[in-house]
Amino acid sequence: MKNATIISGRNIHLGYPRGKNFKEVISGLNISLKKGQMTCLLGRNGIGKSTLIKGLLGQLNPHQGEIQLKGRLLQEYSKEEMARNIAVVLTETNIPGNLTVEQLVALGRIPHTEWHAKLRAADYQAIDEAINALKISNLRKERLSELSDGQRQKAMIARAFAQEGEIMILDEPTAHLDLTGRTEIMTLLQQIAVSEQKAILVVTHNVELAIETAHEFWMLIDAGELIIGKPEDLILSGDIMRLLPEGDFKFDLAKGRLVLPMPSSDLKIQGPDEFTFWVKQALLKAEIHHLPHPLLVTSVPFELSYKGEKFSSTEALIEFIRPTS
Ligand SMILES: Nc1ncnc2c1ncn2[C@@H]1O[C@H](COP(=O)(O)OP(=O)(O)OP(=O)(O)O)[C@@H](O)[C@H]1O
């Protein structure tokens, strides 16, 4: 089944007034954000990702072109209607640290409560669902100031989830998180997109994790060029390389990650590939590009044999080859 478009933009131009002139940041892009999938917006610093997001949130009006939400022009929506459709998680927030996780998540219900802001049964249910979806029931009563960055980020996403909009937009939700935290958040978002049939747009600089988790990429190359496609297709077509600055970095197709080109060397190492790879990395980092004798790696137990000696680490081997004085 094809995923339905919920936000579409045609020939969008966005920018900022600069003195008497106008600084155009986005020039004539076409987009369609789809339900039931996680889309990652990537591009180098300053290229215009946040500007595009501001356009999608109706905070910045296109001076040319148009953006539609569910077939209606964005400008026609009131603030409250926007909040019922789009939940946002931004990097900069001024949420008081003395709020508990539960109280923060309850803030997500504001667009649904009447002027008296009283929570009803449906609101409590949405709060519970959000807390469960993000797997943070154990943190319910904890104060935000006492959470780790990763836990706080999950609470922020739970607040957005409780808002029950069909769209979630997150600006760098994994900044400041460690590898496990980053992977956990991105995987959760991917699952929520599919299970809740939400359109999730994530701005991220983490290309490798985005490749692993996103259903679709929006690669902002310059003001007027947005490359759209499944990450796998962009890898296969080679378009993924367009994310990289001219020069040293390469995208390793087999490993699915960015790499610096290996310096040329004639290191001959015998042993299983996944082991010789790391030994070679360590030698090259130590500026050892040539070995006059054969080097053998065995995996069980891990051992390096060189010139009749045995070593249990690359560090010991390197120290033997090139002793530090
Ligand atoms: N409020 C503003 N007024 C004027 N120019 C702005 C404003 N906000 C952003 N810009 C300019 O628009 C361009 C794009 O900025 P934007 O923040 O959209 O980039 P970005 O891709 O989100 O960058 P980053 O990855 O560093 O967050 C930059 O040249 C920036 O200086």
With 0-12 / 13-18 / 19 or more C-beta atoms within 10 angstroms meaning exposed / middle / buried, residue 221 is middle
> Rounded to an integer, what distance in angstroms lies between the CA atom of residue 30 and that of residue 66?
9
Q: What is the pLDDT of residue 247?
A: 64
- For residue 206 and ligand 1, the question of a CB distance below 6 A is answered with no
181 band by pLDDT with thresholds 50, 70 and 90: confident
Q: Which residue has the tokens 């297709």?
A: 233
Q: Which residue has the tokens 């990395």?
A: 281
Q: What is the pLDDT of residue 255?
A: 72
Q: What is the pLDDT of residue 49?
A: 96
The closest-lying atom of ligand 1 relative to the alpha carbon of residue 47 is: 21
- 77-86 pLDDT, tens digit per residue, is 999 899 999 9
- For residue 219 and ligand 1, the question of a CB distance below 6 A is answered with no
pTM: 0.84
Residue ranges in the chain assigned as alpha helix (H): 49-56, 79-85, 101-107, 121-133, 149-162, 179-195, 207-213, 231-237, 273-285, 314-321
User: Count of CB atoms within 10 A of residue 135's CB?
Assistant: 12
- 260-318 pLDDT, tens digit per residue, is 766 677 888 999 988 998 999 899 888 898 899 999 999 888 999 999 999 999 999 99
- For residue 25 and ligand 1, the question of a CB distance below 6 A is answered with yes
Q: What is the pLDDT of residue 234?
A: 92
Q: What is the pLDDT of residue 1?
A: 57
Long-range pairs, 274-283, Cβ under 8 A, ≥24: 275/299, 275/302, 278/314, 279/304, 279/314, 279/317, 282/314, 282/315, 282/318, 283/314, 283/317, 283/318
Share of the chain above pLDDT 90, in %: 62
Average pLDDT over residues 170-182: 87
Task: Write the secondary structure of 51-76 as one string of H (helix), E (strand) and C (coil).
Answer: HHHHHHCCCCCCCEEEEEECCEEHHH
* Cα(15) to centroid(ligand 1), Å: 9
The amino acid at residue 297 is V
Strands 37-42 and 216-222, sheet pairing: parallel
- For residue 17 and ligand 1, the question of a CB distance below 6 A is answered with no
Average pLDDT over residues 194-208: 94
Whether the predicted pLDDT of 202 surpasses 90: yes
* Cα(56) to centroid(ligand 1), Å: 15
Q: What is the pLDDT of residue 112?
A: 81
- 227-267 pLDDT, tens digit per residue, is 999 999 998 888 988 887 766 677 777 777 777 766 677 88
- 93-150 pLDDT, tens digit per residue, is 677 888 999 999 999 888 887 666 788 888 899 999 999 988 899 999 999 999 988 8
- 22-41 pLDDT, tens digit per residue, is 899 999 999 999 999 999 99
For residue 97, the Cα-to-chain-centroid distance in whole angstroms is 25
- For residue 60 and ligand 1, the question of a CB distance below 6 A is answered with no
ipTM metric: 0.98
Q: How far apart are the first and last CA of the chain?
A: 66
Pocket test for ligand 1, best of 47, 203, 220, 221 (most atoms within 8 A of CB): 47
- For residue 46 and ligand 1, the question of a CB distance below 6 A is answered with yes
Measured CA distances, 47 to 16, 151, 222, 286 (Å): 14, 30, 6, 36
Average pLDDT over residues 214-239: 93
Q: Which residue has the tokens 């367009």?
A: 242
- For residue 48 and ligand 1, the question of a CB distance below 6 A is answered with yes
The CA-based angle 89-129-33, given to 5 degrees, is: 45
Q: Which residue has the tokens 């409590």?
A: 124
Q: Which residues pair with 180 in a beta bridge?
A: none
176 band by pLDDT with thresholds 50, 70 and 90: confident
* Cα(57) to centroid(ligand 1), Å: 15
Tokens of 301: 């137990």
For ligand 1, atom 29, name the residue with the nearest CA: 46
Tokens of 311: 């070593």
- For residue 51 and ligand 1, the question of a CB distance below 6 A is answered with yes
Task: Write the secondary structure of 177-234 as one string of H (helix), E (strand) and C (coil).
Answer: CCHHHHHHHHHHHHHHHHHCCCEEEEECCCHHHHHHHCCEEEEEEECCEEEEECHHHH
Q: What is the pLDDT of residue 243?
A: 86
Domains and CATH numbers, the chain: 5-257 (3.40.50.300), 269-321 (no CATH)
